[in-house]
Chains A and B, each alone.
Chain A
Amino acid sequence: MTKGLALFNGILYSLMILMNGLLAESYGNYYSTVLVHLFGLIAIILYMLFKKKRLFPKEVFPLLLYTGGAIGVLTVVFNNVAFSSLGVTATLGLGLLGQSITSLVIDQWGLLGAEKTPFKKKKLIGICIILAGIAVMLFL
């Protein structure tokens, strides 16, 4: 059940890249980004009303903690631009490379609340295999 849901989640992520990409092709990259966030916000508000959660907490935390959504805007814009010329698979492959490298950097210095995990040279092997896969995808 749990494993099935994890697999299902991966399907959702890929579908999302496609759907947001199609929306961007119809309405423009930035307008569609507004729409994606608007529809998402409506969905989460409905879910919170259903779960009877309060929308705004009583306590206010440092502004930096609320920037996740702002960074997420960049994700949507970047993905939309990439999808238009690369398609779903190559966009995903390159995104996974970006995720791997960024995670390594965050872990190395224990940034953003992550536990400090020093870099292991062996991981370069994994990164090289990922790079090889991307080269095959893009240039063959």
Chain B
Amino acid sequence: MSLRLGLLAVLSLALVAACAGGALGTAARQRVSPLLGALVGAAAVWTGALAWSGGTGGLVVGTVLPGVGARYAPDRLGGAFLVLVGAVTVLASVWALDGARGTAASRTAWVAYPLFVLGLLGVMAAADVVAFLLAWEVMAVASAVLVLADHAHRPEVVGAGLWYAGMTQLSFLLVLGGFAVLASAAGGTAWADLARLAPDAGATGLGVGLLLLGFVTKAGAVPVHVWLPRAHPEAPSHVSALMSAAMVKAGVYGVLLVVVRLFPAGPSWWGLVLLVVGSVSAVFGILQAGVAADLKRLLAYSTTENVGLILVAVGAAQVTTARGDVATGHVLLVAALLLTSGHAAAKSVLFLTAGSVLHATGLRDLDRLGGLGRTMPWTCGAFGVAALGAAGLPVTAGFVAEWTLLQALVHAGGPADPRLGLVSALAVTVVALTAGLALMTFTKAFGIAFLGRPRSDGAAAAHEVGRAERVAAALGALAVLGLGLVPGPMATAAVRALGVDGVTAAGTTLAAGVRLGGVAAAPGAVGGAAAGADGLVPVLDPLALSLATLAALVVVAGVVARLRRRAARRAVELGWGCGGARVSPRMQYTATSYAEPLVRIFDAPLGVSRSVATTTADAPYVVRAMSFRQRVRDVFEEHGYRPLLRAAARVGDAGRALHNGSVHRYLAWSFATFVVVLGLAAR
């Protein structure tokens, strides 16, 4: 079956959805537009699956600019990302049936939404530079419109929208520049033309450098992450889900496009750059997420962390491959794809359920939430599963991905290559610290929001949300669990998407774990007495792990059932009341107090400032009132962007001297420009 049909279906459905969004009345729009969005997503999943399994064909748009055409023909890797984006779109659209209200369901928003999805899909499906850039710009503009959906009611949305628009256009310019350099050096715009360039040539290096910078800006890596913690919280929740789970992946796809598809034989410094950027992003992102009290801001910073881990995997793959350890490099690339899919599943659920919490309580501030587990059991369950996934615990997709990454890292290098060993030791440290802090972050997010007692009236008045929101969250949570319980098919599919080897499904049935044949130690290096030829290949079978746990728990359940007959559970007002410790909900730990140890330990990288003011009566020991203020800043923004913005403002001020309102002067400027252009053209 040709891909042409699928691509046409996606294109026409998206255009119909955009027209419907513009033409329908409010009530009809709220029913029809989300369904059309879900259809676009489903069509994308279908098309992507075809491309992933090796389908051929494509869609040629004859004229996008005068005399320039564009070709959309996804390969296997693009197909994998199409499936991912399509699946997230389906979830977000289903959620929007109940979840998108008010300004999030305005005419403009429902016109922009399908176009945003179309742009995203176009990026993954593009087969040449023009097609890629066109889709990239559609995606950038439409998403900026969506971020601004609620600008009329909340002033902070405008600031977020400005930052987002600025950064996303910066990323576009960098990608445009990078592709321009590569295309002029290659003399063609198709991927096949670019791939013929020598990877170690100067022009290639410049082009790839610009591209990587542009792509990591879109991916939200440090230090170009500043748009993410602003735009994600202010956008409508289904758009945040789509942005975090799918659009950020466009940046990841771009990086993979460069280092896997165009230049698989690239020099190792590309990988080192990605490793450093990824490491800083991972640790900084999770630290900021750990201390964040705004639920969606926490999730946004955790996106930076996840992108960081993906970049660590890709960077390490590039370095190991360039240093000759190709098999381990392949396993690392598979780990990158597993991280991507696991993160997409978990983060879409987290953003959607955060949106449900926002509806039910009107709050994003964790410090004022609490006790939602009783009033919103579905949302609580889905959030809990997804939080497990984001924290990388078994048996979720996130765990399988982190396990694969760690296994590949500890097998990279080895005694033959100590320098690579040092790199992988540092990478393991980064992954470990990130995983540990992610554990704390998501225990905090889940425990503070859903357990304990309500910390405000809004939280106390919470109610379970509508069916569509619950269904979307539950489906996503099932995906997180499914990919974690039976990771084999996904791993082999990732292998096929990347065109590598080294990872197989363990076992022949569908219920299969992961087997990393690519990182097996050479038989001669084995010191163990009993290890067979196959005994040292890392194998992970989450299903077997779960069954073993279940077997243990059956015994426990038997004992508990007997004990339960003896003594039933009894509800009391105060479980344990030292000093009336439960009198007021305000005496509970809040998200801010939960993160206090982190703030203390990592005060320098977090840029913490705090002030305590005490008002005393006559004697210094009689305290009347105390005020405590603590602020956590983004050091990159404070020391990187503020000076830059100030400098830009100064340049602008200086430029003002050039235009004083005199027409003569403007004519003189025009003439001078004309002469310069003539001079350049005549050269």
Q: Do A and B come from one complex?
A: no
